[in-house]
Amino acid sequence: MKWGFWMGSILLLSSCIDEIDLDLPAQQKQRKVIEGYVERNGQDYLFWADVSSTQGISGAPTGQKMQGDFSILYGDDEFSIIQDQLTKIPIVEFHDRYGGDPASVTFQLVAYVEGDRYLSKRQTLLPVPRADSLSVQLESRPFLTEVGNIISQTYVQLLVHTPLINAVGTPVSLTWSVTSTFEFVEGTRSNPNYQRKTCYAKNDIFTNDINIVATQDFPGSDAISDFEIAEVISDYRFSSANYFTVVQKSLTQASVEYWKEVKASNERSGNIYDVFPGRIRSNIINESNPAEAINGFFHASEVDTMRLRVTNTMAGRPVSKCALWVEPMFITADDPDPCLNCLMLANSTTSRPHYWQ
């Protein structure tokens, strides 16, 4: 594509004007983002898939929604799953229905989008090593506030200690998803009959960040210790109790290579909803047009869930958001202040999680 840029002198209005032609790259075409996974925990198989298109803005947290139909291939059997909804099938029920040995299962994703059939490569589910433990450490760093002041900000870093060898002696690469759930107590009201609510709010950590350990990056090591998998600011969320929930997942070598390519091609955002400058080797192809560039991947992982309760002391004793709170004179039902109504916190509930102690 060529654009003409006219440059003239503002001092010599009657001087010659030259046309300068610049060769600019053509705008990147939007790509389909077809993604899915099968995971197995101790009780169930979990299946999920979705389709969207890449965004025009770099670092977009999600893609532009598209419609598709999805199914899973297991041997000669194919069964449907609903787009962007988690399908759960107990392990015993699954193998009673479809046969096979849980120790050696493979799956493929099938997606029907805009009249085309997309098929993933066959993925093997690798047993995941069970992590030894989780811990936290604090780190303080200078932080520039919105008004230009430099303060010392404390961060809570979540560390994992885990083997890289699974129960059958196979080296396994790993990834993690991390959420935190914190307890929040409303402020004290002037009305003695008002019963303060206690809420539990859940936050996703590093939703789109790429957080992997490849076995080849730790040659000769059977385990890793003190490996950081999340970092959050130490603030009111740790004034009471805060639980980190970590899901450790096994990765195939193909999955590791895919995510490393994504990260290398898109260092700014590290997610799959941007148009990459080059082609990333997805394991999903358009059967009628194999040359089509696809973002996304179909993963198969065994998962292990663990939790760590982080106390106020462990987080450096941050104060409650409502510690110095003063009840306003006028209160409306839709006031967003969580000290008035803790259900105004995102993803909050008054139901205590079953694991809470």
**pLDDT tens-place string over residues 13-63:** 344 444 444 343 444 568 899 999 999 999 999 999 999 998 654 555 566
**pLDDT-based confidence at residue 266 (cuts at 50, 70, 90):** low
Compute the distance between CA of residue 103 and CA of residue 98 in angstroms, rounded to an integer: 14
Segment 174-187 mean pLDDT: 96
Compute the distance between CA of residue 223 and CA of residue 129 in angstroms, rounded to an integer: 10
What per-residue confidence (pLDDT) applies to 2? 39
Q: What percent of the chain has pLDDT over 90?
A: 70
Q: Which residue has the higher pLDDT, 271 or 312?
A: 312
Average model confidence (pLDDT) for the chain?
87
Residue 344 has, within 13 A of its CA and on its CB side, a CA count of 13
Look at the chain and count its residues: 357
The residue type at 265: S
Q: Which residue has the higher pLDDT, 3 or 262?
A: 262
b/e burial code for range 32-54 (CB count within 10 A of at least 16 → b): bbbbbbbbbbeebbbbbbbbbbb
**Cα separation values, 217 from 71, 127, 256, Å:** 35, 20, 11
- CB-CB contact of 132 with 164 (8 Å): no
Compute the distance between CA of residue 335 and CA of residue 178 in angstroms, rounded to an integer: 30
DSSP string across 13-82: TTS--EEEEEE-PPPPPP-EEEEEEEEE-SSEEEEEEEEEE--SSTT-SS-EE---EEEEEETTEEEEE-
CA neighbor of 123 nearest in space, from 309, 250, 299, 325: 299
pLDDT at 304 over 90: yes
- Of 27-31, 44-48, 129-133, 196-200, the one with minimum mean pLDDT is 27-31
Q: What count of other Cβ atoms lies within 10 Å of the Cβ of residue 315?
A: 22
- Of 114-128, 197-211, 306-320, the one with minimum mean pLDDT is 197-211
Residue 93 CB partners (closer than 8 Å, separation 6+): none
Please tell me what DSSP assigns to residue 240: S
Q: Name the CA dihedral angle for 230, 236, 242, 247, rounded to a multiple of 10 degrees.
A: -30
**pLDDT-based confidence at residue 275 (cuts at 50, 70, 90):** low
- Of 58-67, 128-137, 339-348, the one with minimum mean pLDDT is 58-67
